[in-house]
């Protein structure tokens, strides 16, 4: 792990009047850039060739003679043959006073080892917590949830023990960011579906051997977009900004079909995939909000105890709610969530209410950077 003091030395040499906000051009980048522009920062996108036009053409920023943005949100977009080529251009980012906001695409395409040990650009957030998202590794988010005493779906130790509906969680073999998840209610169904997915190249045997099997929680899914501010000294440091839920292919296509039509699907259509393709906004019954703050407080405290300095900035608790209104955390993103673009420009419902202006996650990150600069506390929000 890159020593935090080394990052502090770098950020202390930055020109605080010319900070840029940067991230990988993917995932939730548009929210990051929109929020940065709203708070007066220039923006930098690291793009992959073939996927760059969204950033260097369609959302390219145009500024007037005084530097005010009159259209778009991306000031500069560097195009690389691969996302991880950014590792070879770190000095330019440092020279340009870039504070980098990590997202899931960044850690996936650049590799967690490189993020931890080789990317010597100040990250807004908790560098050492990013590894906890890698399911199945030592000290992953399950380990944190255990230490915090937080609820998550009950684990099934081996496929032969399946005696009710379960979710088998493993990565997709081809779509790097996506899942090869499938459900099964018996060992026989597990074998049938696993073999089908293996034959179609959707999953690999190695991934299947290391899959996590959890009892299926029947209920709605809510992703809670939270924020923790280490520099807040008057109000509560923990904030609920918004709630989102996801659209998944081909699952959402399946559930739109009446049962008789589902029964007529061919073998290659029968098992739904869980590829995230979009998000929508949501709210939560107010009597349940206290539970979310309690869960989030416990998560924050556990990260501070076991992952010094703990969570910084945005994080996302991904949950299911059962029939008795109990929350089950099925995933944790220790960085900006994947669904925050649904709130860009208009803000999150709860974030807007709290801050009395449009406050998306991307804008909240930029606002935290601005406050840290103004109070000379940048060292507290970067790693």
> Cα separation of 304 and 284, whole Å?
27
Does the structure show a pLDDT above 90 at 274? no
Helical (H) or strand (E) element with 47: strand 42-48
Per the prediction, the chain carries an average pLDDT of 96
Structural domains of the chain, count: 3
pLDDT at 136 over 80: no
Confidence (pLDDT) at 358? 98
β-sheet with 212-215: strand ranges across: 182-184, 166-169, 212-215
CB-based contact 279:244 (threshold 8 Å)? yes
pLDDT score for 286: 98
Residues 167, 241 within the same domain: no
Residue 348 counted as domain residue: no
231 has a pLDDT exceeding 80? yes
Which of 317, 333, 349 is where one domain is finished?
A: 333
pLDDT for position 207: 94
pLDDT at 349: 94
Please give the average per-residue pLDDT across 37-41, as a whole number. Answer: 98
Alpha-helix runs per DSSP H in the chain: 4-12, 29-38, 53, 90-95, 104-110, 112-117, 141-148, 187-199, 205-209, 251-255, 259-262, 267-270, 289-306, 349-355, 361-374
Domain for residue 345, yes or no? no
Residue found under tokens 């390219």: 60
Q: Is residue 343 part of a domain?
A: no
Residues 123, 166: one domain? no
pLDDT of residue 370: 98
Same domain, 62 and 40: yes
The pLDDT score that the predictor gives to residue 175 is 81
The CA distance from 146 to 281, in Å, is 29
Lowest mean pLDDT among 22-31, 74-83, 248-257, 317-326: 248-257
Q: Where are the beta strands (DSSP E) in 132-255?
A: 166-169, 182-184, 212-215, 221-228, 238-250
Instruction: Report yes or no: 302 and 296 within 8 Å, Cβ to Cβ.
Output: no
Given this model, what pLDDT does residue 178 score? 80
CATH number, position 92: 3.40.50.20
145 has a pLDDT exceeding 80: yes
Residue 48 belongs to a domain: yes
Comparing 140 with 230, the larger pLDDT belongs to 230
Cβ within 8 Å of residue 163, ≥6 positions away: 186
CATH number at residue 323: 3.30.470.20
pLDDT of residue 363: 98
Predicted confidence at residue 85, as pLDDT, reads 98
321 in the same domain as 260 = yes
Q: List the domain range (segments joined by +) for residue 40.
A: 4-130+357-380
Strand 62-63 with 182-184, pairing: unpaired
Put simply, whether the predicted model's pTM sits higher than 0.85 gets the answer yes
Closest of 89, 109, 142 to residue 27, by C-alpha: 109
Backbone angles phi, psi at 27, to 5 degrees: 65, -100
Q: Which two tokens stand for residue 119?
A: 């990317």
Residue 341 domain-assigned (yes or no): no
Cα–Cα distance measured from residue 135 to residue 153, given in angstroms and rounded to the nearest whole number: 14
pLDDT value, residue 273:
85
**What is the predicted pLDDT for the residue at 22?**
98
295 shares its domain with 374: no
pLDDT tier, 268 (very low <50, low <70, confident <90, very high otherwise): confident
Q: Are residues 148 and 276 in the same domain?
A: yes
**126 DSSP 8-state letter:** -
Nearest CA to 276 among 342, 232, 188? 342
Asked if residue 346 is part of any domain, the answer here is no
Residue 33: inside a domain, yes or no?
yes
Judge if 318 and 373 occupy the same domain. Answer: no
Both 201 and 281 in one domain: the answer is: no
322 and 199 fall within a common domain: no
Q: Which of 172, 192, 215 is the last residue of a domain?
A: 215
The token duo for 300 is 């924050």
**208 and 236 co-located in one domain:** no
The answer as to whether 136 is a domain residue is no
The 3-state DSSP class for residue 273 equals: coil
Whether 334 and 315 have beta carbons less than 8 Å apart is answered as yes
- Based on the fold, state whether residues 316 and 181 are members of the same structural domain: no
pLDDT for the residue numbered 270:
87
Confidence of residue 174 (pLDDT cuts 50, 70, 90): confident
Domain closes at, from 169, 190, 215: 215
Same structural domain, 205 and 311: no
Residue pair 318/221 in contact by the 8 Å Cβ criterion? yes
Sign of CA dihedral 96, 102, 108, 113: positive
- With bands split at pLDDT 50, 70 and 90, how would you rate the model's confidence at 176? confident
**pLDDT tens-digit map of 277-327:** 999 999 999 999 999 999 999 999 999 999 999 999 999 999 999 999 999
């Amino acid at each position: 792990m890159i020593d935090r003091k080394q990052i502090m030395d770098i950020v202390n040499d930055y020109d605080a009047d010319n900070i840029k906000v940067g991230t990988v051009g993917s995932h939730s980048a548009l929210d990051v850039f929109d929020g940065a522009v709203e708070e007066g920062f220039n923006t930098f996108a690291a793009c992959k060739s073939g996927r760059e036009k969204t950033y260097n053409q369609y959302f390219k920023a145009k500024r007037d003679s005084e530097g005010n943005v009159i259209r778009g949100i991306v000031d500069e977009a560097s195009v690389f043959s691969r996302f991880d080529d950014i590792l070879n251009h770190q000095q330019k980012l440092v020279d340009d006073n870039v504070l980098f906001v990590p997202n899931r695409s960044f850690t996936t395409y650049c590799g967690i080892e490189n993020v931890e040990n080789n990317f010597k650009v100040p990250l807004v957030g908790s560098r050492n917590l990013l590894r906890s998202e890698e399911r199945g590794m030592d000290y992953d988010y399950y380990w944190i949830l255990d230490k915090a005493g937080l609820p998550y779906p009950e684990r099934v130790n081996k496929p032969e023990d399946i005696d009710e509906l379960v979710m088998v969680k493993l990565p997709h073999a081809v779509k790097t960011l996506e899942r090869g998840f499938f459900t099964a209610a018996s060992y026989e169904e597990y074998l049938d579906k696993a073999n089908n997915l293996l034959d179609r190249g959707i999953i690999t045997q190695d991934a299947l051997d290391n899959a996590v099997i959890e009892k299926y929680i029947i209920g709605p899914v809510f992703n809670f977009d939270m924020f923790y501010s280490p520099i807040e000294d008057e109000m509560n440091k923990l904030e609920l900004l918004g709630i989102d839920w996801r659209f998944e292919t081909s699952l959402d296509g399946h559930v739109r079909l009446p049962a008789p039509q589902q029964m007529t699907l061919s073998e290659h259509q029968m098992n739904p995939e869980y590829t995230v393709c979009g998000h929508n906004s949501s709210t939560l019954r107010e009597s349940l909000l206290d539970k979310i703050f309690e869960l989030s407080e416990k998560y924050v405290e556990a990260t501070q105890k076991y992952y010094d300095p703990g969570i910084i900035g945005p994080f996302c608790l991904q949950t299911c709610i059962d029939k008795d209104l109990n929350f089950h955390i099925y995933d944790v993103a220790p960085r900006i969530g994947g669904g925050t673009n649904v709130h860009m420009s208009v803000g999150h419902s709860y974030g807007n209410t709290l801050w009395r202006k449009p406050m998306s996650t991307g804008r909240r990150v930029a606002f935290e950077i601005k406050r840290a600069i103004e109070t000379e506390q940048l060292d507290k929000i970067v790693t």
